[in-house]
Amino acid sequence: MASQTFRSIKEVPLEEYFTPGHRACQGCAEAIAVRHVLKAAGRDVIVVNATGCLEVVSTPYPYTAWAVPWYHVAFENTAAVASGIESALKVLRRKRLVADKKIHVVCFAGDGGTADIGFQALSGALERGHDFLYVCLDNEAYMNTGIQRSSSTPYGAWTTTSPPGKVKPAGQMTYKKDLPSIFAAHGIPYVATATVSYPLDLINKAKKGLDVEGPAYLHIYTPCPPGWRIPSEKVIQVSRLGVQTGMFLIYEAEKGHLRLTVKPSRRKPVAEYLKMQGRFRHLSDEDVEKIQRFVDERCAKFGLPPLEAST
């Protein structure tokens, strides 16, 4: 397969490898992300899927929404299983037992399966340099089991295990773990972040990550309508606002060279992003300001323009 990038959405293949009939909630952004990553991968792919929303909604026995080989593994060993598959493919190819073409290995895991539980397996696999693409679908909490906080939950978010109260008025009191930076620090050839509101950017990043020799890490921000307390039709808007306010930084780091791929020319105040979501409803003005300061600092580090003058 040629490693060309798609220049327009019309060039993206129409084939669906994540078929309709899966039981994701209305407006599930994870399903959009998976559809597009698989379009980039094509037919020759083996998918390793950690436990989580995606596994639960895509394969209620005896149905499967996957039209490609698919493994369900536990939360903690996604990257370990992918390493094994990649090594086995290498041996089989050497023994001429499989066709001599590139077979991609793609892992899908949620933020819980990446930031918390599957962290050490992934860190090990990246360090060993196995050739696979790891996709983290970040919906910022354990949505599968009923919205419990993970270490990827942002400051101020309501979840069932970080409820806002008298002692902790902001809800989640810690900041989001910066996963892409952690995995970039492993010195792997390709790290990127993407979100569903910029689908072409997402598909091209997945393609690049698959074509690169060695491990690649793709972090996709996927808004979750029930967990974020947003109406299902607003998913793409929230995701777009996340980028425009600087909450999601969309960049890629190729061999250590960092480049912002979606650069909002004018940055909006984070309050716009926060007030769309029910999980931030309890936030006081001070908390919003605190988040704004945090985002400003982070954006300055990445070379994004300062916030436009408030009107």
Partner 1 sequence: MADSKPTVKNLPIAGIIFTPGSAKEYNTGSFRSQKPILEAKLCTKCGMCWVYCPDGAVFVNSEGMYEVDLKYCKGCGICVEECARKAIKMVDEEEM
By the criterion CB under 8 A, which residues form the site for partner 1?
Answer: 9-10, 12, 14, 16, 18-24, 26-29, 31-32, 35-36, 58-68, 196, 199, 225, 231-237
We find the least distance from the C-beta atom of residue 230 to partner 1, in angstroms, to be 11
Cβ nearer to partner 1, comparing 18 with 251: 18
We find the least distance from the C-beta atom of residue 45 to partner 1, in angstroms, to be 12
Which of 163, 135, 136 lies closest to 147, judged by CA?
Answer: 163
Cβ nearer to partner 1, comparing 234 with 298: 234
Cβ nearer to partner 1, comparing 28 with 179: 28
We find the least distance from the C-beta atom of residue 239 to partner 1, in angstroms, to be 10
We find the least distance from the C-beta atom of residue 25 to partner 1, in angstroms, to be 8
We find the least distance from the C-beta atom of residue 29 to partner 1, in angstroms, to be 7
Cβ nearer to partner 1, comparing 22 with 149: 22
Cβ nearer to partner 1, comparing 58 with 193: 58
